[in-house]
Structure 1
Amino acid sequence: MPSHAASVPRHPRKWLFLLPVLAAIGIAVLLNRGAGPPDQRETEPPARVVRVIEIPTADVVPRATGYGRVRPERVWEAVAEVTGRVVETHPRLRKGALLPADTLLLRIDPTEYELRVSQAEADILSTRAQLSEMEAKEANIRASLAIEEESLALRTAEVERKQRLLDKGTVSASELEQEKRNLLAQRQAVQAQQSQLNLLPAERELLQAQLARYEAQLADARLDLARTEVQLPFRARLSEVNVEQAQYVREGQVLIKADAIDRAEVEAQIPIARMRALLQGADPIDFSVGPGGELASQLGIRAQVTLRDAGGDVHWPAELARLSDTLDPETRTVGVIVSVDNPYADVVPGERPPLVKGLFVEVALFGAPRPQQVIVPRQALHGERLYLIDEGRLSIRDVTVKTLQPEYAIVAAGVSAGERLVVSDLFPAIDGMPLQAEPDPDVRARLLAAATGSPSPPEL
């Protein structure tokens, strides 16, 4: 029983704890009674900071780029034209050596060819002596013939005189016959001299033919003697040496190869679309006749060769020499060949190397300028749209692209010069979203450099 009495007063104490909570709820209901719903306000997102440029106009110089390897314009092979042993070589006859024109590279033993020259000269002297002897012989025969003809005239007159005497009966017939026999003998003597004289032209022609043959043999012997010396025809760099001192060489053997260093060539593959854009507006050219060496001037194209290197780019002015004979249907490219004068000039060790054979270089072709074109960075294009800022908000504009280059695009319609163009990556891009412009003069400068044909436009 005492335990039951002690548990009775515990329940009223629990209700005492609930009374304050119920009172607070009641007060809250009274305060909110008759109040309207809470205000709902739309919060605008903060303006995003973007880089912008003012769209410029410029005299655009179209540009097409390709890549290729440097090669010499002329390659010379020294082929042995005579047979013999090498008796002398240049002390710098080594691969890679740079040598001036007319340098004596090697000499083949000339003894045999000197003997042939001497023999041909002796034969010529002998034949010329025979011709001189024939001239004297002809003079003698003509003198003898003149004497014999005078004697013949006397014999003829004597026969006529004795004929008259026989008619008068003062000489016998036998004397007349004897005189006639003497006349016939004299005629035979005259004929013999005349026959010798008639044979002289044929003998002279024979000796002259022999003289011509000996002179040809002398020229051939002298030519072979000259061929025993191998000289460099132009300033060049030796690329291959296949001969040594005292080596026996045979006719037709390749001894030395050398590359001319006065002019280098690069054949690069240019996309056909880029070439088409480069040549738009050029005057017609009749390639069936051939433009000769004026291809670059007729097409209005200038060229430049660039070596891209971690230590800095190196440039060489070039000239468009000719187009390749074929197109590559797989890569849709056309081969162009540019030439560079003096590729070994102005070399600075460690900074500017020579334009040596085998270097992989960039070839840039620049077309005729197109005045006052509206240009934008290519990275700012989003398909055929541009992002602009209009009164602090994004304006997505449809545009018409006229020409597309790797660094920039020429816009024909849709925007105007001076408008502010967004060049930052903007995602998501919602038309009308607030933007805060931050000018980027570097992008604009690089854009103008690329569009106006800067020798080395930086990447955009």
Structure 2
Amino acid sequence: MVLPVAIILGGVAIAALLFSMRPHAEQAEVEEVATPVEVVIAEPRTVPARVEGTGTVVADAQVVITPQVGGRIVEVAPELRPGGIVARGQVLARIDPRDYQLAVTQAESQVAQARLNLALEQQRAEVARREWELVGGGEPADEASLALRGPQLAAAEQALAAAEATLASAKLSLERSVLRAPFDAVVLQEGVDVGQMVGQATQVATLVGTERLRVEVQVPVEELPLLEIPGLGADVGSPARVVQNLAGGGAGPRTVARDGAVVGLGGQIDPATRTATVLVAVEDPLGDGADLPLLPGAFVEVEMSGRPQPGVTVVPDAAVHDGTVVWVVADGDRLVRREVTVGWRQDGQLYLTGGLEAGDRVVTSPLSLPVAGMAVRVIDPETSGPGADGATDRAEARP
């Protein structure tokens, strides 16, 4: 019994001796590797705001042409067809004028007769006045008026006025037998042919004015303060660029572009999208004929230049993560997370209206798993591309 215990105690002693004689490993410090990044320097400045939206081109002036007199159509202008271009005052169609010409001739005859009757009555009144003076007058006023042929003279004057009114009406009806365009327009619809009987209920054509069209642009409500809107604190509206992208891959222009200006704000907000309707006027939408026209019904993209915004910093799209986060290289070359406010986007750049200070070094390189406090090294993109010997610190990027 003593022997096994001794053996066990001896083994423990030997194990303790071996443990005390083990070699001690020295702990090495792990060197932190700085991630190379590219940066841009935040330089806040004042720039005009830019608001983008989409909308539909609608007519600023549209009218349905209907005759004011009836008759048979004897002439139709070649341009009176869908898509035809007509000028202000151009003849669209003519109604047979003969009945109205005869009415004018008859009315002119009646006027001549009424003038003759008035002249005769004036002579009779003059003779009556002289005779009245010879007999001494002195009668009551009403009897004197009768003796001097006052009622007869007034009746002749009224007859002349009625005849002249009849003549003016006849001339107006004759003038209305010619249907003219009230403004420069494009024909949207037409509904008459030569030989057709028309009346006051006949729709001859539908015209859309081409001097100016209007675009109804949908804009988020929160972006309205960025725009100059006449009647809402501005006398002149923000300038706008209206672009229609054309589908298809054939030859010729792929877009139709026109300049415009904001002229007003729609009367209500869309409850589904929470957008407001901004009205943009486009002058001379047909252009000079050298390119395609901008026509009603077109779906367009609109870019509007708004009020100048101070303190705006421009950074590439890639610098902003999750919509509102940028990473800044702080003193000590450590990452710092910043929340920013994005004002608008333009040509691959984001315009930030808050969250950065002048001189901040904003990281533009892709970051796989960025964390606050991570060590980084600012590099010069000109020396970090393929074939370069290595990245060099961009000392000039430090504030």
Question: What amino acid sits opposite 2:271 in the alignment?
Answer: P
Task: Tell me what 1:114 maps to.
Answer: 101
Contact between 2:241 and 2:304, CA under 8 Å: does it hold in 1? yes
Distance 2:237 2:207 in 1: 34
TM-score normalised by the chain length of structure 2:
0.76
Cα gap change, 1:363 to 1:411, in 2 (>3 Å): closer
Task: Tell me what 2:295 maps to.
Answer: 356
Task: Tell me what 2:241 maps to.
Answer: 304
TM-score normalised by the chain length of structure 1:
0.67
The structure 2 residue matched to 1:270, chosen from 219, 226, 244, is 219
The structure 2 residue matched to 1:261, chosen from 188, 192, 210, is 210
Distance 1:274 1:435 in 2: 38
Distance 2:332 2:245 in 1: 42
How many residues are treated as equivalent by the alignment?
Answer: 351
Contact between 1:101 and 1:235, CA under 8 Å: does it hold in 2? yes
Contact between 2:312 and 2:351, CA under 8 Å: does it hold in 1? no
Structure index of larger Rg = 1
Cα gap change, 1:201 to 1:146, in 2 (>3 Å): closer
CA-to-partner distance for each residue in 1:310-354, whole Å, 9 max, x for gaps?
7666543212111112222332121111111112225544xxx32
CA RMSD of aligned residues (A): 3.4
Report sequence identity in percent: 29
Q: Which runs of 5+ in 1 are unaligned?
A: 1-32, 153-186, 441-460
> More strand by proportion, 1 or 2?
2
Question: What amino acid sits opposite 2:335 in the alignment?
Answer: S
CA-to-partner distance for each residue in 1:209-263, whole Å, 9 max, x for gaps?
2222222221111111111001112222111111111111111211011122121
Work out whether 1:71 is the aligned partner of 2:58.
yes
Task: Tell me what 2:362 maps to.
Answer: 421
Quote the offset at 1:144 in angstroms: 4.0
For 1:430-441, list aligned pairs within 5 A. Answer: 430=371, 431-435=373-377, 437=379, 439=381
Contact between 1:392 and 1:434, CA under 8 Å: does it hold in 2? no
The structure 2 residue matched to 1:330, chosen from 272, 283, 288, is 272
State the secondary structure of the residue aligned to 2:174.
helix
Distance 2:145 2:212 in 1: 68
State the secondary structure of the residue aligned to 2:186.
strand
Contact between 1:392 and 1:436, CA under 8 Å: does it hold in 2? no
Contact between 1:76 and 1:257, CA under 8 Å: does it hold in 2? yes
For 1:47-446, list aligned pairs within 5 A. Answer: 48-146=35-133, 149=135, 198=147, 200-276=149-225, 278=226, 291=231, 297-298=234-235, 301-308=238-245, 315-346=257-288, 348-349=290-291, 353-377=292-316, 379-382=318-321, 385-390=325-330, 393-399=333-339, 401=340, 404-406=343-345, 408-413=350-355, 415-430=356-371, 431-435=373-377, 437=379, 439=381
Question: What amino acid sits opposite 1:205 in the alignment?
Answer: A
Distance 1:79 1:297 in 2: 40
Distance 2:203 2:36 in 1: 70
Question: What amino acid sits opposite 2:259 in the alignment?
Answer: P
Task: Tell me what 1:17 maps to.
Answer: none
Task: Tell me what 1:179 maps to.
Answer: none
Quote the offset at 1:84 in angstroms: 0.5
Distance 2:329 2:379 in 1: 8
Contact between 1:55 and 1:419, CA under 8 Å: does it hold in 2? yes
Quote the offset at 1:50 in angstroms: 4.2
Contact between 2:37 and 2:376, CA under 8 Å: does it hold in 1? no
Quote the offset at 1:439 in angstroms: 3.9
> More helix by proportion, 1 or 2?
1
Cα gap change, 1:35 to 1:297, in 2 (>3 Å): same
Q: Higher mean Cα deviation, 425-434 or 332-341?
A: 425-434
Question: What amino acid sits opposite 2:117 in the alignment?
Answer: Q
CA-to-partner distance for each residue in 1:135-180, whole Å, 9 max, x for gaps?
2222333344455x28x9xxxxxxxxxxxxxxxxxxxxxxxxxxxx
Distance 1:114 1:35 in 2: 132
Q: Which runs of 5+ in 2 are unaligned?
A: 1-19, 248-252, 383-399
